Amino acid sequence: MISIINIEDRTKELGGIPWLPIDMVRVNDQVVRLVLFKGEFHWHKHAKEDELFLVIKGQIIIQLKDQPDINLQEGEMVVIPRGIEHCPKSFKTSYVLLFEPFALKKMGD
């Protein structure tokens, strides 16, 4: 059966806990994860996978090593290429969809 996913309803499953993604749906070898961003995550990179961030509510900053920060507003997205060290953060509660390989380590390498 084909299911409709209501993103706003799924935000309640996060329980207000930042940085703990929930898997929304798998598409082939990829997964769409929903994450509450609040505060600062940690510096990390993914050696083998790119990572796509899509802000659905709020705004986030993705800090990059030796490059300018990326500021994303609602409805904006960016792909962080594999091997790029980055540190996401948000000054207010924000909801982000991550599109990444299912095998990706959620906390980085």
pTM above 0.85, yes or no: yes
Interval 29-75: pLDDT, tens:
999 999 999 999 999 999 999 999 999 999 999 999 999 999 999 99
Note whether residue 4 is domain-resident: no
Q: What SS3 state is found at 79? A: strand
Note whether residue 26 is domain-resident: no
Q: How far apart are CA 103 and CA 10, in angstroms?
A: 22
User: 55 lies in which domain range?
Assistant: 32-101
Q: How many residues does the chain have?
A: 109
Q: How far apart are CA 64 and CA 66, in angstroms?
A: 6
Structural domain total, the chain: 1
Note whether residue 55 is domain-resident: yes
Note whether residue 82 is domain-resident: yes
Other Cβ atoms closer than 10 A to 51 = 23
Q: How far apart are CA 86 and CA 102, in angstroms?
A: 20
Q: How far apart are CA 60 and CA 48, in angstroms?
A: 24
Note whether residue 62 is domain-resident: yes
| 52: CATH | 2.60.120.10
